Amino acid sequence: MTKQLYYEPLVVQVLDEDSGKMVRTVLERRLGVSRKLLSRLKLTEQGITVNGERVYTNDRVGAGDRIELRMEQEESDDILPEPMELDIVYEDADVLVVNKPPGIVVHPTHGHYTGTLANGVVFHWKQLGERVRFRPIHRLDEETSGLVAIAKTPYVHQQLSEQLQAGEVDKRYRAYVYGCPAEAAGTVNEPIDRDTANPHLRVVTPDGYPSVTHYEVETVYGSGDAAKVNVKLETGRTHQIRVHMKHLGSPLIGDKLYGYADEGSAHDAPAGSAALEAAISRQALHAAILSFTHPITRERMTFEAGLPEDLRRLEAALRQL
């Protein structure tokens, strides 16, 4: 029988104020461990111990006791390891931050079993001798470039997912759009849902899911023919930035689904758009800044990814307007 391997344990030293409390109460209070993860840990042989002895979550502890949580090491056996050049911005035992190039799907889906970011990351971990399951905290569209955070343990995934739901993960994007929003800065608070006529598309609709996008115009090109816009997401709906910018009348340059190249667009492409479309073969959107609180060290961490080559080429074309 193969001996079970564990990640480094999470340790809690019981304080005087927690003396007499149940194990689960201390863990929920001190580490924010979810009920789901606790249920999983208590079924693991060494999942929860106090002073080296296995305990149950309703057992009580005393001041000075040492609680340890051990999560079983896992691997993504359903993801084929595949060598890939990765732009790793940061990595430690708990989290990986990667600068994803455009044209790469984050996770294998129907029709995309290989060539995804997950395939490359799983290969990278195998090369390091690490047993880690691929757990992205958030995803980017295939053609959107930029920062993606990946948790390396169930606890870190739970903590970062909760930060994301609470709006504590700061995600900022660079977007290049046609025209220029009427207001130099503002918030688009418009619900989004699937287009009933085309389920692959999203639209602004009163019956949709709450969706909030904050934006600020950084640079205006030409006589308002195009603009560089900084965007911050408050929610994370599919295609949210692309849909909201189109709703403002400033669709993303190069966007084949929501831009002027879209056959269903009600507007003609602006003058000079042919040169801009030739400069980039995808929507001009880049996840440039990502900030979150590290679940283990509790340090606030901020990462930034510079513009990829195609967006630098687009900027050069925009400056010619």
Q: Where along the chain do the CATH 3.30.2350.10 domains lie?
A: 74-164, 172-287+315-319
In this prediction, residue 266 carries a pLDDT of 43
Decide which of 1.10.357.10, 1.20.1250.20, 3.30.1300.10, 3.30.2350.10 is the CATH code for 172-287+315-319: 3.30.2350.10
Averaged pLDDT, 97-108: 96
pLDDT value of residue 112? 76
Residue type, 165: Q
Spacing of C-alpha 255 from chain mean position? 21
pLDDT class of 239 with cuts at 50, 70, 90: very high
Give domain 74-164's CATH number out of 3.40.50.720, 3.30.70.860, 3.30.2350.10, 3.30.930.10.
3.30.2350.10
More confident residue, 241 or 272: 241
The set of residues, in sequence order, having a beta carbon less than 8 Å from that of 58 and lying 6+ positions away, is 22, 23, 24
Tokens standing for 158?
Answer: 């739970």
Mean pLDDT, to the nearest integer, of 243-269? 79
Cα angle for residues 211, 213, 216 (degrees, 5° grid): 170
At position 98, the amino acid (one-letter code) is V
At residue 274 the predicted structure's pLDDT band, cuts being 50, 70 and 90, is confident
Q: Does position 262 have pLDDT exceeding 90, yes or no?
A: no
Q: Bridge partners of 49?
A: 54, 68
CATH number for 10-69: choose from 3.10.290.10, 3.40.1350.10, 3.40.50.300, 3.10.129.10: 3.10.290.10
Give bridge partners of residue 99 from the DSSP assignment: 147
Q: Return the exposure string of 53-90: e unless at least 16 CB atoms fall within 10 Å of the residue's CB, then b.
A: eebebeebbeeebebbbbbbebebeebebbebebeebe
At residue 5, the pLDDT reads 87
So what's the pLDDT on residue 259?
84
Which residues carry out catalysis? 141
Give the pLDDT of residue 102: 96
**At residue 223, what are phi and psi to the nearest 5 degrees?**
-100, 50
CB 191 within 8 A of CB 208: yes
Mean pLDDT value of segment 250-275: 71
Q: How many CB atoms lie within 10 A of CB 271?
A: 11
CA-to-CA dists, residue 245 to 103, 154, 252, 258, 305, angstroms: 21, 35, 7, 9, 22
Q: Quote the pLDDT of residue 270.
A: 62
What residues does CATH 3.10.290.10 cover in the chain? 10-69
